[in-house]
Amino acid sequence: MKRNDLILAGTVLVVAIAALIFLNLNKKEGNTVIVKVDGKVYKEFPLDVDTTYEIKGVNGGTNLLVIENGHADIAEASCPDKICVDQKQIDKNGETIVCLPNKVVIEINSDTQSEIDAIAN
Q: What is the pLDDT of residues 58-109, one digit of tens each?
A: 989 999 999 999 999 999 999 999 999 999 999 998 899 999 999 999 999 9
Q: Can you give the pLDDT at residue 115? A: 53
> For residues 118 and 72, which has the higher predicted lDDT (pLDDT)?
72
Closest CA to 78 of 43, 103, 96: 103
Ranges of each domain in the chain: 32-109
Strand order of the sheet with strand 40-46? 40-46, 32-37, 104-109, 96-99
Decide if pLDDT at 114 tops 70: no
Element (H, E) at 85: helix 83-86
Decide if pLDDT at 21 tops 90: no
Percent of the chain at pLDDT > 90 equals 73
pTM above 0.75, yes or no: no
Closest CA to 92 of 109, 80, 77: 109
What CA–CA distance (Å, rounded) separates 24 from 99?
Answer: 24
CATH number of 32-109: 2.60.320.10
Q: Strand, helix or coil at 63?
A: strand
